[in-house]
Amino acid sequence: MITQKMKYALKALMVLADEKAGEGQSLRIEDIARLSGTPKRFLEHILLEVRNAGIIASVRGRSGGYVLIKPPEAVSVSELLRLIDGPIAPLPCLSRRAYQRCEDCADEESCRIRRVFAEIFWSYLVLIDSLTLADLVKSPPVAAQVLGAPEPI
């Protein structure tokens, strides 16, 4: 499950990536908050993290704000998840970047819990690693394309 903070980050980045926003044009944080439906006070902290990761840049001055500096196709949803929410593995022994051996596990190779969750997690990773910000701003939503799911009302 993604956190509310991650949802806010995705909504803000979708606003910055939206073709209608104008390529390379900065948006003030107030405008991003309004267009994304995100509270400004949370958005300030989130955008600083995303800026420090090199995905967006802040522009000073009268027409300043934030601008997406990576193409939407180059912004990985799984990397954003890790940036905002931390490790995404269901068990610490399955994490790519924050691996930790489970304290109560005598043998990872024979651990049935690890084996079952590894299968589920790797399937999830195949999907989530393939998603980019560009996929989120496309219409119809990716889920509708892949699963034939109806669009939300």
Q: How far is CA 17 from CA 94, 115, 136, in A?
A: 32, 38, 9
Domain that holds residue 51: 4-68
Residue 79 belongs to some domain of the structure: no
pTM for the structure as a whole: 0.79
Q: How many domains does the chain have?
A: 2
Asked if 61 and 102 sit in the same domain, the reply is no
Domain at 8, CATH number: 1.10.10.10
Query: What pLDDT, on a 0 to 100 scale, did the predictor assign at position 142?
Result: 46
Asked if 56 and 99 sit in the same domain, the reply is no
Residue 30 belongs to some domain of the structure: yes
Asked if 8 and 43 sit in the same domain, the reply is yes
Q: Which two tokens stand for residue 135?
A: 């996929």
Query: What pLDDT, on a 0 to 100 scale, did the predictor assign at position 89?
Result: 86
Q: How far is CA 136 from CA 99, 109, 121, 145, in A?
A: 29, 37, 21, 12
**Positive or negative: CA dihedral 97, 2, 77, 111:** positive
Query: What pLDDT, on a 0 to 100 scale, did the predictor assign at position 153?
Result: 46
Question: Residue ranges of the chain with pLDDT lower than 70?
Answer: 19-24, 139-153
Q: What is the DSSP string of 72-113?
A: GGG-BHHHHHHHHH----SSGGG-SSS----TT-S-GGG-HH
Pairwise CA distance, residues 16 & 36, whole Å = 10
